[in-house]
Chains A and B, each alone.
Chain A
Amino acid sequence: MIRQRLLAGPDLSRGPEGLASHMQRLGPPPSIGSALIDVVESSGLTGRGGAAFPVGDKWRSIARRHGQPVVVVNGAEGEPQSLKDRVLMTARPHLVLDGAMLAARALRTSRIAVVIGESHRAALASMAAALAERPEPELRQARIAIAPARYVAGESSALVRLVGSGIARPTTRPPSMHEAGVDGRPTLVQNVESLAHVALIARFGAGWLGRGTLLITAVGAGAAPDVLEVESGTPVREVFEAAGGGSRATRAILLGGYFGAWIGAGQAWDLPLDPVALRDRGLTLGCGVVGFLHDAGCGVCETARIMRYLASESSAQCGPCFFGLRALADATARIGERGSNTEDLARLHRWSQEVAGRGACRHPDGAVMLLRSALAVFAEEFANHPPHWCAEPSQPRRIA
């Protein structure tokens, strides 16, 4: 069910909410310092960047480290289908900044880096203007860094490296960034939506959160992609209807964006959009993208387009990712372009097993997880694809 918390307040079409309106509507955030860690922990809030890791646990483990931490606010939003972070930053910049300042105070630090994707111009303008409205001490704590429009730039070790050295590529771990991130300091990397939730939890208490809400980007339901705020646990079908899907026939759903998985529509409609419940079923909500593939769409051709993109987005540092994803994208495209053949199908199965887990970051893992789901859901099409590309569905229905 639709439930507006982060997006409550003035209509989104009115642009960024200024500091005066924000404070009048919500009041100032409380000054509770590191006691906020307990509150966030008992609220059960999980991270909204994709991993759904408990936010309180993450903060506590950083607070235990030696040295003054750095808070990295992740607004890179490199997932091409996702819009929710930039919508949030554009409409409610002060909610994000409140969360960042609260995190910094809870971790007893004054160093905040707000990282925003370079192509998210409205979000960048809104966040910069909002920061300029903040009182002097806060203004001096935070700086804005711009992430290149690359998929892996939002990966947390790439963000840490961007803030520290200006290069947005993943690095080999360990050490974890909790221990040694920006300038070797303990570093909290937190998605903008997670921080916006913190801004409300700090004001209204741990119990207020309840099941909590999620920002979802629905793609392929209505005429244009739509960002919706729903209560956690809302079934996929309700998002489809709220996004304007109507009676449109849908054959499969891409849950979790390009690092997610295809699911046959029959199995997907009743799935609860709840990061933890989905993880328990071996699925992921990722950054909250839900894509709907129209009945006329082709799963092989859609997947070939996504694999081409993911291969091109490898940061080319690790051989199995750079060569493996390219080979997987080529083999998928050959089936789409020239028709099914048993050699390529066997390669897809074997390589997708071999490539997993063999990169410094999880880029290759996410890509092969998506491919394996496609091989399962669209098994018949992969086995019987005609020797030519399928016509692309018209723009609104297209997922990739």
Chain B
Amino acid sequence: MSAKAHLTIDRIRCDGHGLCAELLPELVRLDDWGYPIIAPGPIPGHLLAHAQNAVTACPVLALALKRADKPAR
């Protein structure tokens, strides 16, 4: 896994379960309505495994790890 990985969210799928913020508080916080706000920039190498866990845990498969150039929205 390269250091250029980003977290992306399918905003239509996301229902605000909030597991991502629990599993990856370093990069994900929740807004006042429970929907994730992702820190800008690529995922630091030491958090990649945690990011992968958060992706796997998302109950609606809205969170994804992308190695593309496009940053998370």
Q: Select which of B13, B15, B35 is within 8 A of A358 by beta carbon.
A: B35
Do B31 and A354 touch (CB < 8 A)?
Answer: yes
Do B16 and A358 touch (CB < 8 A)?
Answer: no
* B41 CB-CB contact with A under 8 Å: no
Residues of B within 8 A of A320 (CB): 11, 31, 33, 35
* A317 CB-CB contact with B under 8 Å: yes
* B57 CB-CB contact with A under 8 Å: no
Binary CB contact string for chain A from 351 to 368 against chain B (1 if under 8 A, 0 otherwise) = 100110111100000000
Binary CB contact string for chain B from 27 to 42 against chain A (1 if under 8 A, 0 otherwise) = 0000111110100000
Q: Check A319/B32 contact, CB under 8 A, given A172-B10, A172-B12, A359-B11.
A: no
Do B33 and A319 touch (CB < 8 A)?
Answer: yes
Q: How large is the interface on A (under 10, 10 to 19, 20 to 34, 35 or more residues)?
A: 10 to 19
Main secondary structure of the interface of B (DSSP, over half): loop
Binary CB contact string for chain B from 13 to 54 against chain A (1 if under 8 A, 0 otherwise) = 111100000000000000111110100000000000000000
- Would you list which residues of chain A between 291 and 331 have a CB under 8 Å from chain B? 317-321, 323-324, 327
Would you mind naming 27 contact pairs between A and B with Cβ atoms under 8 Å apart?
A172-B10, A172-B11, A172-B12, A318-B12, A318-B14, A319-B11, A319-B15, A319-B16, A319-B33, A319-B34, A320-B11, A320-B31, A320-B33, A320-B35, A321-B11, A323-B33, A323-B35, A324-B31, A324-B33, A327-B32, A327-B33, A351-B31, A351-B32, A354-B37, A358-B37, A359-B11, A360-B10
Q: A318-B14, A320-B35, A359-B11 known; 6 other A-B pairs, CB under 8 Å?
A: A319-B16, A319-B35, A320-B31, A323-B33, A324-B31, A355-B31
Which A residues are within 8 Å of any B CB, using their own CB?
171-172, 317-321, 323-324, 327, 351, 354-355, 357-360
